[in-house]
Every structure is written in C-alpha cells, then in structure tokens.
C-alpha cells in the first residue's frame, strides 16, 4: 500500500490547474503563484509518485499516458474533498465558490446568463464562470460543473436532469414573405431560399406534423445561407434572406414584435428536451443543484 504521508496532496490542486489552464504560466495566474513555484510543485509531484506526468516543450505542454489517467483521478479526488467539506459545513442554504457552467451560445446568452445573474443576487458568495460555445463540451477535461445540452443526449456516463422542452418554428421576415409569397402547404417550401444552421444533423431536412397527426418530410433544396451559429442564422432571417428553422426561445420575441413571422403555424416540428448534464457523483454539489432548480423555475421545465 502507498504511504500517502510521503506525498504532498496539495500538489494535486496545482497539477489539475496546470492541465485545465493549459500551461504553467496560466496555472500560476489562476492560483496566484509564481510560475517558478508551479514548476517546482510539478517536479516534486513527479518525484513523489515516481511517474512522469507532463511532456514539456517550447511550444506546448501535454500529458503523458500516466498523466492523463492521474489527472482524471486527481480531479475526482478534489471534487470528493470539496463535496465532503460542503456536507460538513453548516449553512447549507448558502452555496459558495465558483460555479462553472457551459451552454450553447444562444441558449446561454438568452436563458442561462439571466438565471445565473439572479442566482448571484441570491447567493453573493457564489461566483460564476459561464462558457458559451456550440461545440461539444468535455466536462471533465474542461473542468465544467454542469453543461446545458439541447436535443438528444449521447451516452456519456454523466448524469442528466431535464430542465426545459426544446421546440422550433419555421420563420421568415415580412419582407421575405412579401417578395416570395407565403407558403400555404409543406409542398410550397422546398424551392424557397433557406437559411441553415450547419452544426445540426441534416440541417436542410425536417419533418412537419399537422394537428391530425399527419406527417410530411421536407427537404429544402435552395440553401442560400448557412452558418455554424444560431445568432448568424437569425440575423440572416431578420435581413430577409430566407426561411429559417429556429429554436422558439431564440425568435419568440421577434415573432411577438412582428420582426419575424411564423411560417405554416398549423404545422409543428418535432420536440425534444433540454438537459442539464453533470458528472456522475454520489452527492450533487449544492451550487449545481441550486442552478438546476433556478433554471427549471425560469423555463417552467
């Protein structure tokens, strides 16, 4: 059995910070230490456990195979310690520390950010780090406490809580409809100019259902504008460039004010769910729990 008394476990915090920050310099800034001290901690940690963890070069810092495994275990150990301390503290109704949240860009800006601001007002000791991006977030590698994911979940081994329903509308600007005509049936759609969000599967194909339950598969054949961000596609729709399949939360205000108009409002697109996803753990950190509860309350999920 390993004698833990010979190992400075505080160096695990430094090691995890180095991996997540991507460099000794960035880790030193995050920890408030001198770069030379961070480097010394890493050298001593490698000596103490007898394994090389980091590959150092003039251009970048990377992990050895042993380092990758040791990082995952170290982060789990630090999370367990944080949870144990939180459980032991009194005043469990006052979460504190830094809550690291990730979200798709449009949902993060429109929905998540206001919820987090309200959470900060309620819990002043809580700090927020929100990462918005439309790429798939690796919770463990990027040090994220909880991420919001739209649509079908991949089998990741993480825990998930449903927080909202994801609905979409077909929309276009009044000027576009005046110039091209307003579609009356799904058959009128395929040849019209179309705006596509390129990061979703089959961006120019979808299924519509009417109130009787009849379904029609639609393939848009004239994609004139595509982008990897929902904000850009919404801007193109507002400019009158084409028909857009958009998330309801991102365009409902535009529809309410008349900047955009629902196309074929008697036909609906398939619904799915929005989830909060977090690493599997026996004890959900309180800061994550209060965020999920606040998000569900704000969305009615």
Those residues whose C-beta lies under 8 Å from the C-beta of residue 216, and which sit 6 or more positions away, are 186, 187, 207, 208, 209, 267
115 CB neighbour count, 10 Å cutoff: 18
Cα separations (Å) of 293 from 31, 92, 115, 118, 290?
31, 15, 10, 12, 5
- Same domain for 227 and 239, yes or no, is yes
- Same domain for 33 and 83, yes or no, is yes
Domain boundary (59, 88, 117) is at 88
Provide the domain count of the chain: 3
pLDDT at 93 (0 to 100)? 58
How far apart are the C-alpha atoms of 50 and 73, rounded to whole Å? 16
Radius of gyration of the chain measured on its C-alpha atoms: 24
- Same domain for 157 and 288, yes or no, is yes
pLDDT in tens, 212-240: 889 999 999 999 999 998 999 999 999 99
- Same domain for 174 and 211, yes or no, is yes
Domain assignment of residue 242, given as a range: 168-270
- Same domain for 154 and 295, yes or no, is yes
Domain boundary (64, 88, 112) is at 88
Average the pLDDT over 165-190 and give the result. Answer: 96
Give pairs for 216-221: CB < 8 Å, separation 24+.
Answer: 216/186, 216/187, 216/267, 218/186, 218/189, 218/190, 219/190, 220/189, 220/190, 220/192, 220/194, 220/196, 221/190, 221/191
How far apart are the C-alpha atoms of 191 and 273, rounded to whole Å? 30
- Of 142, 181, 175, 179, nearest in space to 279 by CA: 142
Q: Could you tell me the CATH number of the domain that includes residue 14?
A: 1.10.10.10
pLDDT in tens, 243-299: 999 999 999 999 999 999 999 999 999 999 999 998 877 677 889 999 999 999 998
Cβ atoms of 247 and 168 within 8 Å: the answer is yes
pTM of the model: 0.66
How far apart are the C-alpha atoms of 247 and 104, rounded to whole Å? 12
- Same domain for 181 and 258, yes or no, is yes
Greater confidence (31 vs 136) lies with 31
Average the pLDDT over 170-176 and give the result. Answer: 98
Cβ atoms of 256 and 248 within 8 Å: the answer is no
Average the pLDDT over 157-175 and give the result. Answer: 92
pLDDT at 83 (0 to 100)? 65
- Same domain for 203 and 241, yes or no, is yes
- Same domain for 67 and 206, yes or no, is no
Cβ atoms of 144 and 137 within 8 Å: the answer is yes
pLDDT at 152 (0 to 100)? 77
Q: Could you tell me the CATH number of the domain that includes residue 264?
A: 3.40.190.290
pLDDT at 51 (0 to 100)? 87
pLDDT at 91 (0 to 100)? 47
pLDDT at 172 (0 to 100)? 98
Cβ atoms of 108 and 154 within 8 Å: the answer is no
- Same domain for 184 and 41, yes or no, is no
Least confident segment among 13-22, 105-114, 151-160: 151-160
Cα separations (Å) of 91 from 198, 276, 298?
47, 25, 25
- Same domain for 279 and 149, yes or no, is yes
Cα separations (Å) of 95 from 11, 84, 98, 119, 144?
26, 14, 9, 10, 17
pLDDT in tens, 38-96: 889 889 888 888 888 888 765 677 888 888 888 888 887 877 777 666 656 544 557 88
């Amino acid at each position: 059995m390993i004698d833990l008394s010979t190992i400075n476990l505080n160096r695990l915090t430094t090691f995890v910070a180095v991996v997540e920050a991507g460099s000794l310099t960035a880790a030193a800034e995050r920890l408030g230490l001198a770069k030379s001290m961070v480097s010394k901690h890493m050298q001593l940690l490698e000596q103490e456990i007898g394994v090389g963890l980091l590959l150092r070069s003039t251009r970048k810092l990377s992990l050895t195979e042993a380092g990758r495994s040791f990082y995952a275990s170290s982060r789990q150990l630090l999370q367990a310690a944080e949870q144990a301390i939180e459980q032991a503290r009194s005043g469990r109704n006052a979460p504190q520390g830094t809550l690291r949240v990730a979200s798709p860009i449009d949902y993060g800006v429109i929905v998540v950010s206001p919820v987090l601001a309200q959470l900060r007002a309620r819990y002043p000791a809580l700090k927020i780090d929100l990462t918005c991006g439309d790429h798939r977030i690796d919770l463990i590698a990027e040090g994220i406490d909880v991420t919001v994911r739209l649509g079908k979940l991949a089998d990741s081994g993480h825990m998930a809580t449903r927080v909202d329903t994801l609905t979409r509308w077909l929309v276009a600007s009044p000027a576009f409809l005046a110039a091209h005509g307003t579609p009356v049936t799904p058959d009128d759609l395929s040849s019209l100019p179309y705006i596509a969000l390129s990061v979703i599967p089959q961006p120019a194909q979808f299924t519509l259902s009417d109130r009787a339950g009849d379904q029609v598969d639609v393939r848009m054949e004239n994609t004139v504008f595509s982008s990897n961000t929902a904000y850009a596609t919404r801007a193109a729709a507002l400019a009158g460039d084409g028909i857009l399949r958009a998330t309801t939360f991102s365009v409902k205000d535009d529809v309410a004010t008349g900047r955009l108009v629902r196309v074929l409002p008697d036909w609906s697109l398939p619904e799915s769910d929005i989830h909060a996803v977090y690493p599997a753990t026996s004890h959900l950190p309180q800061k994550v729990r209060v965020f999920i509860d606040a998000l569900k309350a704000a969305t009615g999920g």
